[in-house]
Amino acid sequence: MTSNMPARVWDGEKAVDAGSGEKLRDEIHAFISKYHSSTLSFLMTMRKNGTPVMRPVSTFVEGWTVQTISQDHQVKVKHVRNNPTVGYLFVDSEGPPYMSLGYTKNVWVAGRAEVIDDQDEIAEFFKRREAATGQADAHPNDATYTRLLFRTTLTYLRAEGFAEHARPVILTSFD
C-alpha cells in the first residue's frame, strides 16, 4: 500500500511519462472491459444548464468504444441528444487498495457519444453482448419502452492504480 512512499508527496502523484503509460495500455483496456464482474461503471452526462450529473450504468466495451443501453424515457437520453459530451468512471470494487485512503484501481474516460436509434443495430448489439458476456436484453418482456444505445468514442483517459504509488497514466490516442 503506502510502503516506500517518496519523501515528496508530489513524486507519488505526478503523471507517468508517455512511454510507461503505453506499456499499461492493455491492462487498462482489460480492466474497463470487464463486464460487471468487479468493475463498476458510472456515466456522466450534461444537464441542459451545462452542469454534469453521474449515475451507475452498465457498459459493454468493444475496442475502445464504450457502449451503454438506455431507454427513450431516461433523462440521460435527453442530455446526450442535447450535448454529446460524456464521461465514464470505472472503479474496481474488489481491490486491493493501492494507497492509504483505500482506493482501488480507477479509470476516467472522456468522450463523445452518439445515440443509436436503429433497432436492427441494437438487436445486433444485444447479440454481440450476449455472445461475449451472456447478457442479452435485460428486460426482454418489457415492450413499453424503446431501446437506445449510447456509443462513445474516447478522447481522453486517466487511470490510477496501474503505475507506481498514486501516479496516473494518461492516454489520448485510441486507434
Partner 1 sequence: MGETYESEREVPETDAEALSETIREFIANWSGNRAFLMTRRRDGREIMRPVGSFMEGWTANTITQDLHIKTGHVRHDPIVGYLWVEVDGERYGRLDFPRNVWMQGTAELVEDPAELAAFFERRAGATGRGDAHPHDDGYRRILIRTRPQYVRAEGFYHDEPMRAVILREFPELAAAR
Residues of this chain that interact with partner 1 (CB under 8 A) are 7-10, 13-14, 36, 40, 42, 44, 47, 50-58, 71, 73-74, 85, 87, 89, 91, 93, 100-104, 106, 108, 110, 138-139, 142-145, 155-156, 158, 160, 166, 168
Among residues 85 and 133, whose Cβ is nearest to partner 1?
85
H helix or E strand, kind and range, residue 77? helix 75-82
Closest separation in Å from C-beta 150 to partner 1: 15
Closest distance to partner 1 from the beta carbon of 99 (Å): 8
Residue 38 CB, nearest distance to partner 1 (Å)?
10
The three-class DSSP label of residue 126 is helix
Positive or negative: CA dihedral 70, 73, 76, 79: positive
- Among residues 100, 88, 111, which one has the least CA distance to residue 172? 111
Question: In 3-state terms, what secondary structure has residue 63?
Answer: coil
